[in-house]
């Protein structure tokens, strides 16, 4: 049994970097940037009006109400290409360039325009501070400045910046190709009605969903039975052309736990097979050819926790994500939790806020590592060093799921 930190380091050291590919911007959300994103122009590209109103010289309206002559119109996409003089105003729309000579926009609600002798005038009802409702050219970002770097993820939040600076196609890391299968003579497919002694395979679909979430391209293979020949055949078929293989089940010390034997017979290099971790003590990390293999415990909660700790790190690391550890935080405990004597312990928890607005972790009182029903509500893992306990009201370290 090796310490958790050591196991994480071993995985970290053995993650190869995958290549990159160029995808259409619309396909890039969730992908990891393989290039830096640089502003190709000032933003905004010109002094831009934030309001519908009148472009003026602030000094002209300092003693408003005051009347100015309307000399033109600036609309979005159709600016007024002259120089505004003192005593003049230009009708301006949101998004339009503020004409040269003007320094301020007074919004239309604070104005009244009228015709007189075929000329148009506007009465500005209130003064405005110089620069009001004008976003200066380059004030959001200057041309040539870097916004995001290789290793950052593309999100719905930052994709607007990629679009604004012309990244119609984006270099991103290739998706790790992940093969997944379950092992266990008792496992049947989700669509089947389990017979006596049988259960449905809930792990493969969970691991595929988790793999996709972290940017991989997963593929589910048929389950293997608990015999060496079946396991070896399944492993050989699944590793071909894949960056990662994830299997579940058959890693414990039972008579039919044969995954390690199958891997060894196929010539895999085993990095570790037992980690001081709860849940998830029996967990194999190995390499077969160029494929990283993670053989996770069959119990659904153990499989999910070991995925988050080890497989997730490999998937994001292959894509060049800069920090591959899970997002951490602290929360106040609503109940006491206790670690195993000799293993780093993770307890699934729900999160809430107490009356004072503090983040609270509420441990899920499930029936252990097989209880996928209780784990369905998990939002975080409470992380406890081996042989420690934490009491109600203590601040605990949590990992967000
Ligand atoms: P094992 O790790 O093979 O000893 O399996 C531990 C427990 O997890 C057993 O109760 C298995 O039936 C269950 N299990 C194994 N594989 C799966 C799977 N793919 N989906 C759901 N439960 C599983
Ligand atoms: Mg089994």
Q: Quote the tokens at residue 38.
A: 């640089």
Q: What is the CA radius of gyration of the chain?
A: 31
Q: State which ligand 1 atom lies nearest to the alpha carbon of 257.
A: 3
- Confidence (pLDDT) at 72: 98
Cα 92 to Cα 96: distance, rounded to the nearest angstrom? 7
Q: What spacing in Å lies between the alpha carbon of 399 and ligand 2's midpoint?
A: 28
- Confidence (pLDDT) at 91: 98
- Confidence (pLDDT) at 367: 85
Give ligand 1 pocket residues (Cβ under 6 A).
182, 184, 186-187, 199, 201-204, 248-252, 254, 257, 297-300, 370
Starting at the earlier edge strand, list the strands of the sheet with 269-274.
Answer: 217-220, 177-182, 244-248, 291-296, 282-288, 269-274
Nearest ligand (C-alpha, residue 375) = 1
Of 6, 3, 1, 14, nearest in space to 311 by CA: 14
What are the Cα distances from residue 128, in Å, to 100, 122, 132, 317? 18, 15, 6, 53
Q: What is the pLDDT along the chain (401 residues), one digit of tens a residue?
A: 999 999 999 999 999 999 999 999 999 999 999 999 999 999 999 999 999 999 999 999 999 999 999 999 999 999 999 999 999 999 999 999 999 999 999 999 999 999 999 999 999 999 999 999 999 999 999 999 999 999 999 999 999 999 999 999 999 999 999 999 999 999 999 999 999 999 999 999 999 999 999 999 999 999 999 999 999 999 999 999 999 999 999 999 999 999 999 999 999 999 999 999 999 999 999 999 999 999 999 999 999 999 999 999 999 999 999 877 899 999 999 999 999 999 999 999 999 999 999 999 999 988 888 899 999 999 999 999 999 999 999 999 999 99
- 358 and 309 in contact (C-beta within 8 Å)? no
**Hey, which of 249, 255, 259, 372 would you mutate to test ligand 1's pocket, going by the most ligand atoms within 8 Å of its Cβ?**
249
- Confidence (pLDDT) at 289: 98
Q: What spacing in Å lies between the alpha carbon of 259 and ligand 2's midpoint?
A: 9
Q: Quote the tokens at residue 96.
A: 């339009």
- Confidence (pLDDT) at 172: 98
Cα 401 to Cα 398: distance, rounded to the nearest angstrom? 9
Cα 229 to Cα 245: distance, rounded to the nearest angstrom? 18
Of 222, 377, 393, nearest in space to 304 by CA: 377
E-assigned strands of 7-117?
20-24, 37-38, 48-49, 53-56, 66-74, 88-92, 104-107, 111-116
Q: What spacing in Å lies between the alpha carbon of 298 and ligand 2's midpoint?
A: 6
Q: What spacing in Å lies between the alpha carbon of 259 and ligand 1's midpoint?
A: 13
The neighbour count for residue 336, using CB atoms within 10 Å, is: 12
Q: State which ligand 1 atom lies nearest to the alpha carbon of 202.
A: 20
Q: State which ligand 1 atom lies nearest to the alpha carbon of 254.
A: 4
Q: Quote the tokens at residue 294.
A: 């993670």
26 Cβ contact list (under 8 Å, min separation 6): none
Q: State which ligand 1 atom lies nearest to the alpha carbon of 248.
A: 16
* Protein residues near ligand 2, an ion, with CB under 5 A: 184, 249-250, 298
Cα 61 to Cα 68: distance, rounded to the nearest angstrom? 9
Q: What spacing in Å lies between the alpha carbon of 306 and ligand 1's midpoint?
A: 14
Cα 383 to Cα 34: distance, rounded to the nearest angstrom? 32
Q: What spacing in Å lies between the alpha carbon of 300 and ligand 1's midpoint?
A: 7
- Confidence (pLDDT) at 26: 97
The dihedral sign for the CA sequence 268, 270, 271, 274 = positive
- 282-302 pLDDT, tens digit each: 999 999 999 999 999 999 999
- Confidence (pLDDT) at 323: 78
- 303-323 pLDDT, tens digit each: 999 999 999 999 999 999 987
Number of residues written out for the chain: 401
- 284 and 306 in contact (C-beta within 8 Å)? no
Q: Are strands 344-353 and 277-278 parallel, antiparallel or unpaired?
A: parallel
The dihedral sign for the CA sequence 317, 283, 362, 372 = positive
State the DSSP string of 200-264: E--HHHHHHHHHHHTT-EEEE---B-SSHHHHHHHHHHHHTT-SEEEEES--SSSTT--HHHHHH
Of 184, 176, 332, nearest in space to 248 by CA: 184
Cα 379 to Cα 199: distance, rounded to the nearest angstrom? 26
- 37 and 162 in contact (C-beta within 8 Å)? yes
Q: What spacing in Å lies between the alpha carbon of 142 and ligand 2's midpoint?
A: 59
- 280 and 309 in contact (C-beta within 8 Å)? yes
- Confidence (pLDDT) at 241: 97
Nearest ligand (C-alpha, residue 251) = 1
């Amino acid at each position: 049994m090796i310490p958790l930190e050591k196991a994480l380091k071993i995985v970290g050291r053995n993650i190869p970097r995958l290549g990159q590919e160029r995808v259409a911007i619309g396909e890039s959300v969730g992908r990891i940037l393989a290039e830096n994103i640089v502003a190709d122009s000032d933003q905004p590209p010109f002094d831009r009006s934030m309001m519908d109103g009148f472009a003026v010289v602030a000094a002209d309206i300092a003693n408003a109400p005051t009347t100015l002559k309307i000399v033109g119109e600036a609309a979005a996409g159709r600016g007024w290409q002259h120089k505004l003089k003192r005593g003049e105003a230009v009708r301006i729309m949101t998004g339009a360039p503020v004409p040269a000579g003007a320094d301020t926009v007074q919004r239309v609600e604070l104005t009244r325009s009228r015709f007189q002798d075929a000329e148009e005038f506007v009465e500005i009802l209130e003064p405005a501070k110089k620069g009001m409702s004008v976003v200066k050219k380059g004030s959001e970002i200057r041309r040539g400045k870097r916004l995001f770097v290789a290793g950052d993820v593309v999100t719905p939040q930052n994709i607007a910046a990629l679009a604004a600076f012309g990244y119609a196609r984006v270099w991103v890391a290739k998706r790790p190709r992940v093969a997944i299968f379950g092992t266990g003579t008792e496992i049947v497919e989700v669509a089947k009605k389990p017979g006596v002694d049988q259960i449905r395979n809930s792990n493969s679909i969970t691991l595929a969903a988790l793999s996709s979430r972290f940017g991989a391209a997963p593929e589910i293979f048929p389950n293997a039975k608990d015999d060496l020949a079946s396991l070896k055949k399944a492993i050989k078929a699944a590793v071909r052309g894949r960056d990662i293989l994830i299997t579940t089940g058959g890693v414990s010390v039972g008579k039919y736990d044969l995954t390690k034997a199958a891997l060894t017979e196929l010539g895999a290099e085993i990095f570790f097979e037992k980690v001081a971790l709860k849940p998830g003590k029996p967990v194999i990390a190995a390499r077969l050819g160029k494929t990283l293999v993670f053989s996770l415990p069959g119990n659904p909660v153990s499989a999910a926790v070991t995925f988050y700790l080890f497989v997730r790190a490999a998937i994001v690391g292959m894509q060049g994500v800069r920090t591959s550890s899970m997002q951490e935080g602290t929360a106040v405990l609503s109940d006491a939790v206790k670690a195993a004597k000799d293993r780093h312990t993770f307890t699934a928890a729900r999160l809430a806020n107490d009356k004072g607005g503090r983040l609270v972790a509420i441990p899920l009182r499930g029936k252990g590592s097989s209880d996928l029903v209780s784990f369905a509500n998990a939002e975080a893992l409470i992380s406890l060093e081996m042989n420690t306990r934490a009491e109600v009201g203590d601040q605990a370290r949590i990992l967000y799921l």
